[in-house]
Structure 1
């Protein structure tokens, strides 16, 4: 009896001292420590962090706002629709009636092109080739949405506000990019400009994906690269949130101002050296 009691006490003590994470913050700290010890590579750590992040985010956090949606109007001429498809590079488009609150369905570029190929002289019955639209509330959690996308084999959803109006749209790619990073396709143009571009006034435009090591070498700086590999990650961490264009901070002898940014990441940073 005494042995059993002692063993239970010892097990409890070992468990208390085992360092097992008790909450999300401790888990992330353990994973970061494992990455620092090269037990977990950076890409794997990034994806695990992304999986944890989407469980706390909602559709409103990453949706394409209503004003930035590329839509097809139901009464558009076919030539105009085709031009919209080509110029945008997208594969799915909400089709609207009088305004963006009236979503009639979703047009897949392949459905339209197939009809034009098979019956080039026949008017396109747009309504007949539309797919049903998926509607979700702004508060839909992203991990739940990703599971529903997979189950329903859907790729896009219309986000509606509390009044039933269209707030924006979200795609499966938007969610996956939070886990694996930006997904580039054939329509994305890779930049051939150098990472660090001197400006006439003595400042610099720096690609946010520039490595901390490259930045430090170029500017004879000493930014800490322990937790982040890129300048964008460093600035985002310093500010404590995903910054918007125009936000700035001053640290380590430099003023960093967000020059361009997308909904999901910083793209270019304006850098000014502090006066000596």
Structure 2
């Protein structure tokens, strides 16, 4: 069929191409970048690394994209805090005990149980404890918020979408039998994408590697110098082969300890409070009673 506008057709097409050269060039660059397309996740990650080498994307962008790709294959059970290491509150505990645990751990939300730890009846936000100061007639039960339960097999992508849609930041993970397997927070999920997130609690304690807690115990950073720990506690931990207390504890245990685990060294009890990136971030340190020091590892 002949062109109905032969006099303007060729000129108009040329003008359109000249008016939008960047769009075509960008499309061509994208095609060149992804073709031939990767056949697996590993190949896609290698492609991203190559793009970083060619300075097509920044290192931070490559790391985030890799996190998104890897997260697609992960489930809640992969990143949750296991049930034995969960910091929980007993609904029947005295107010002072509850307050001390909230201060010592520094979390903003806590699962609350009644009777057995597996019987979680709600979530307490630390800031809500302030209401008890102004209204003593209230009790802990009135401050609880509904608990969100998710299966251990729930994908992180879907979980993140639920967190955002429901404006919820914490969920209890249950196994196939309906028992508590652990807990997971929106921060745990986001850290799979962007890496470690520093919060106000982290920044406050970053000013010192050894920090005194309300109950008289101490919070000690995993990367604190052994010499500093020895000086603070008048201890004699060996510092010839290791520079940090985290390295010494890991050596004594034969592996990097998990949250909630503890070890006794040099008359001190080191209980893991927080781990990040495969290393201990914070220990809670107390003195081992004299009559219980026979089994010290150092």
TM-score (structure 1 length as normaliser): 0.65
Query: Which residue matches 1:87?
Result: 104
Equivalence for 1:21: 38
5+ residue gaps, structure 1: 1-13, 209-243, 247-259, 269-276
Size of the aligned set, in residue pairs, is 203
Equivalent runs, 1:92-241 vs 2, <5 Å: 92-113=109-130, 115-119=131-135, 122-188=136-202, 189-190=205-206, 201=240
Specify the alignment match of 1:238 in structure 2: none
User: What RMSD over aligned residues (CA atoms) do the two structures have, in Å?
Assistant: 3.1
Contact 1:58 1:141 in 2 (8 A): yes
- Mapped to 2, the partners of 1:110 and 1:27 lie a distance apart of 44
Q: Secondary structure at the match of 1:168?
A: strand
**Quick check: which has more Rg, 1 or 2?**
2
Report SS of the residue matched to 1:187: helix
Answer whether contact 1:63 1:169 (CA < 8 A) is retained. yes
Q: Tell me the distance in 1 between the aligned counterparts of 2:173 and 2:207.
A: 32
Instruction: Report the equivalent of 2:12.
Output: none
> Runs of 4 or more off by more than 4 Å in structure 1?
191-208, 260-264
Is the CA contact (8 Å cut-off) linking 2:122 and 2:145 kept in structure 1?
yes
Structure 2: 5+ residue runs without aligned partners? 1-30, 210-222, 228-237, 248-254, 258-271, 281-298
Which of 30, 45, 68 is the equivalent residue of 1:51?
68
Counterparts in 2 of 1:118 and 1:100: CA distance versus 1, 3 Å = same
Identify which of 260, 264, 277 aligns with 1:265.
277
| Aligned residues of 2:132 and 2:139 also touching (Cα < 8 A) | no
Map of 1:65 onto structure 2: 82
- 2:151 and 2:175 in contact (8 A); partners too: yes
Instruction: Tell me the TM-score normalised to structure 2 length.
Output: 0.60
Q: Distance in 1 between matches of 2:36 and 2:74?
A: 28
